[in-house]
Amino acid sequence: MNHPLLQIEKVNKQFGGVAALDDVSLSIEAGEIYGLIGPNGAGKTTFFNVMTGLYTPDSGRFQLDGQEYQPTAVHQVARAGIARTFQNIRLFNAMSALENVMVGRHVRTHNGVWAALSGHSRGREEEAQTRAHAHRLLAYVGLAGFANYRADSLSYGHQRRLEIARALATEPRLLALDEPAAGMNASEKVQLRSLLEKIRDDGHTLLLIEHDVKLVMGVCDRISVLDYGRVIAVGAPAEVRRHPQVIQAYLGAGAHV
C-alpha cells in the first residue's frame, strides 16, 4: 500500500572541502512520520536547506512522488508540495492567526489584482473558501478560538501549532518540521506528539528533524541517523536505538548501554 513519497539519492554538499552531506540517501514513504536525528553538526540543517531549495546540492537527485524534484528558488518548494516550519518560530507577527493561515493558502489560490479591485463573484468565492479553509485548519490544530488574535500574542505552544496550520494550508505532500519541540515544556510536547500522530493518521507524510531523541523515538515510524554528513543507521526506533554506531555517535566510542 505504501509507496515512496520522497526519494533522495546520493546527495552531496560540500562547504570548502568539508562534506556536510556525504552520499546521503533516504526514502520517505507516504503516510509515515520519518525522523532525522543526529548530534550537533551532523548535517541535519544542511539537509533541510538542500531539500527546501536554500542550497543547491553538489550532486545527487530528489524524487517527489515519482517526479524529479529540483527546486531552484525557495518559493517553488511549497508549490511542489513540501511545506516547512521553522526551528525558531517565524510567523507573520502583526497579522492575525487566521491571516497567517490564509497566507498559507496563497499557492493554492489564484486571485490577483483584478479580482481584488473588481470584486467579481469568482474572486469573492475563492476568498470565502480561503477563509473557511483557514478556519477549519485553525480548529484542526486546536486554535479555533484564536482566529482574530495577533500571531505574536499567542503562547509559545500555540505559535508552534499555528506554524503547522499555516504549513498544512499549502496542501503539502510532505510536511517538514524543523525541531518542532524546541523550547517546549513536557506537557506541550505530549500535545505536540498527539497532534503529529493525528496529522499522520489523516493521511499526511511528515519529516521530523529533531534534537529531542525521546520525542523522535516515541512518535516516528522510521528514523535515519546522520553523523558527520553520512547516514549511519536507518530503521524503526527500536532498531536504531540499539545500533552500535548510533550509540557511539551520541555517547562516544567505548560506551556500553
Using CB under 8 A, pick the residue from 21, 26, 64, 99 that binds other proteins: 99
Question: Shortest Cβ distance from residue 176 to other proteins (Å)?
Answer: 10
Q: Does 153 bind other proteins (CB under 8 A)?
A: yes
Question: Shortest Cβ distance from residue 80 to other proteins (Å)?
Answer: 9
Kindly compute the dihedral angle of the four CA atoms of residues 192, 209, 243, 239, in this order, to the nearest 10 degrees: 50
* Residues 6+ positions from 50 with CB-CB distance below 8 Å: 11, 13, 21, 56, 57
Q: Does 27 bind other proteins (CB under 8 A)?
A: no
Task: Find out whether 28 and 6 touch, Cβ atoms under 8 Å.
Answer: yes
Task: Find out whether 176 and 48 touch, Cβ atoms under 8 Å.
Answer: yes
Using CB under 8 A, pick the residue from 16, 148, 252, 257 that binds other proteins: 148
Residue 21 sits at the vertex; the CA angle it makes with 20 and 26, to the nearest 5 degrees, is 155
Q: Does 154 bind other proteins (CB under 8 A)?
A: yes
Q: Does 9 bind other proteins (CB under 8 A)?
A: no
Using CB under 8 A, pick the residue from 104, 137, 219, 231 that binds other proteins: 104
Q: Which of 40, 36, 146, 127 is nearest to 84 (CA)?
A: 36
Question: Residue 11: what are its φ and ψ, rounded to 5°?
Answer: -85, 130
Count the residues of the shown chain that bind other proteins, applying the rule CB under 8 A.
Answer: 45
* Distance separating alpha carbons of residues 125 and 122, to the nearest angstrom: 5
Mark 162-201 with x for binding to other proteins (rule: CB under 8 A) and - for no binding.
Answer: ----xx--x-------------------------------
Q: Does 150 bind other proteins (CB under 8 A)?
A: yes
H or E element, residue 175: strand 174-178
Stretch that binds other proteins, among 11-19, 103-111, 190-198, 249-257 (CB under 8 A): 103-111
Q: Which residues here bind other proteins, judged by CB under 8 A? A: 52, 73-79, 83-84, 86, 90-96, 99, 102-107, 109, 111-113, 115-117, 119, 126-127, 130, 146, 148-150, 153-154, 166-167, 170
